[in-house]
């Protein structure tokens, strides 16, 4: 009885060794011939779990998005397929849900042992760019996908494992987010400065027109200069004061409106992550 048990233990031990050897070969192949828009790396503590990053291709609703996911390989890989997950909210797949694909463990009957890591990542990207439904997929609009693409930077940067496995991409994200903040500050300052400058021009025009009206009124005051000047400057002065007040109120309203819109836009950019979680 001891011999069969020992034989089974030897067989089980060889399976993960075979899987690890094959995954190392797949990794070398991926390094020598990278898959467009995709990077991948194994967990340092578990070679059977790989994490990948997909960059949204140009011309797709995922453009400028960065999507993090994982592959869990069985100990008897490559004779059985891995399970596939997408972690970053993307509008195509449910986050952290097993995906039903012909290259995943949902369909071991269609799996081909000659397929490798590059084949899996290529197939996943291809299916992501399609609109076919499957278990784990969701339906969203193009606009929602674009919003999630923009928010993917901050989402991934808040994931410690992502930053550990892909430090270069994490640094790239930090630089891009800093550029976005600087662009927002510049845009905000420019909008307010232009608004204040425009109101200042209006006030200057009112002052000039008021002075011109006063001089005309004084020139026509031959019969009764004191009465004419009073009649001309009184209403004109009142109109000028009210115009200044109206324009100042307009400046305040414009500034408040700008910051309210800015706040609403920021809040709307958070809905995707909260909804996905």
The domains of the chain are located at: 2-165, 185-276
Cβ-based neighbours of 91, under 8 Å, separated by 6 or more: 61, 62, 138, 140, 144, 145, 148, 272
Per the structure block, which two tokens stand in for 218?
A: 């004084």
In this structure, are residues 41 and 51 in contact, taking their beta carbons and an 8 Å threshold?
yes
pLDDT at position 48, please?
A: 97
Determine contact, residues 210/237, Cβ cutoff 8 Å. Answer: yes
Alpha helices in the chain (DSSP H): 2-32, 117-128, 142-157, 160-165, 167-219, 225-268, 271-276
Residues of the chain with confidence (pLDDT) below 70: 1-15, 189-190, 192-193, 195-196, 199-200, 202-240, 261-262, 264-277
Per the CB < 8 A criterion, the answer to whether 84 and 74 are in contact is no
Active-site residue flag, 163: no
Q: Which of 82, 93, 96, 105 is nearest to 134 (CA)?
A: 93
- Cα 155 to the center of its chain, rounded Å: 8
Helix axis angle, 142-157 to 167-219, nearest 10°: 110
Name the residue among 153, 179, 81, 185 with its Cα closest to residue 124: 81
Q: Are 144 and 272 in contact (CB under 8 A)?
A: yes
Instruction: Let me know if domain 2-165 sits in CATH 3.10.110.10.
Output: yes
Residue 75: predicted pLDDT: 96
- Which single residue is written with the structure tokens 């009764």? 224
In the set 29, 43, 100, 129, the catalytic residue is 100
Chain centroid to CA 200: 38
Other C-beta atoms within 10 Å of 271: how many?
12
**pLDDT confidence of residue 128:** 97
DSSP 48: E
Closest alpha carbon to 30 in 122, 124, 168, 103: 122
Check if the beta carbon of residue 81 is closer than 8 Å to that of residue 104: yes
Q: What is the DSSP string of 208-221?
A: HHHHHHHHHHHHT-
Neighbour-count burial of 6, counting CB atoms closer than 10 A to its CB (0-12 exposed, 13-18 middle, 19+ buried): exposed
Asked if residues 134 and 169 have their Cβ atoms less than 8 Å apart, the reply is no
Question: What pLDDT is recorded for position 2?
Answer: 39
- DSSP summary character for residue 34: P
């Amino acid at each position: 009885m001891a011999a069969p048990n020992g034989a089974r233990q030897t067989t089980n031990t060889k399976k993960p060794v075979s899987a690890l050897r094959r995954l190392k070969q797949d990794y070398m192949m991926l390094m020598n011939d990278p898959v467009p828009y995709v990077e991948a790396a194994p967990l340092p503590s578990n070679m059977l779990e790989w994490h990948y990053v997909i960059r949204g291709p140009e011309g797709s609703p995922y453009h400028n998005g960065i999507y993090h996911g994982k592959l869990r390989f069985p100990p008897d890989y490559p004779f059985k397929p891995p399970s596939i997950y997408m972690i970053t909210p993307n509008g195509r797949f449910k986050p952290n849900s097993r995906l039903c694909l012909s290259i995943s463990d949902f369909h071991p009957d269609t799996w081909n042992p000659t397929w490798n890591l590059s084949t899996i990542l290529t197939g996943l990207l291809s299916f992501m760019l399609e609109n076919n439904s499957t278990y784990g997929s969701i339906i969203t609009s193009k606009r929602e996908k674009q919003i999630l693409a923009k928010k993917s930077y901050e989402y991934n940067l808040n994931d410690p494992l992502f930053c550990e496995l892909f430090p270069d991409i994490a640094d790239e994200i930090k630089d891009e987010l800093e550029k976005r903040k600087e662009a927002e500050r510049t845009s905000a300052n420019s909008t307010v400065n232009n608004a204040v400058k425009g109101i200042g021009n209006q006030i200057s025009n009112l002052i000039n027109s008021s002075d011109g009206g006063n001089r005309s009124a004084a020139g026509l005051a031959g019969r009764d200069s004191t009465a004419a000047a009073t009649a001309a400057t009184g209403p004109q002065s009142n109109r000028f004061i009210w115009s200044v007040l109206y324009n100042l109120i307009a400046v305040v309203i414009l500034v408040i409106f700008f910051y309210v819109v800015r706040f609403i836009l920021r809040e709307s950019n958070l809905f995707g992550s909260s909804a996905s979680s």
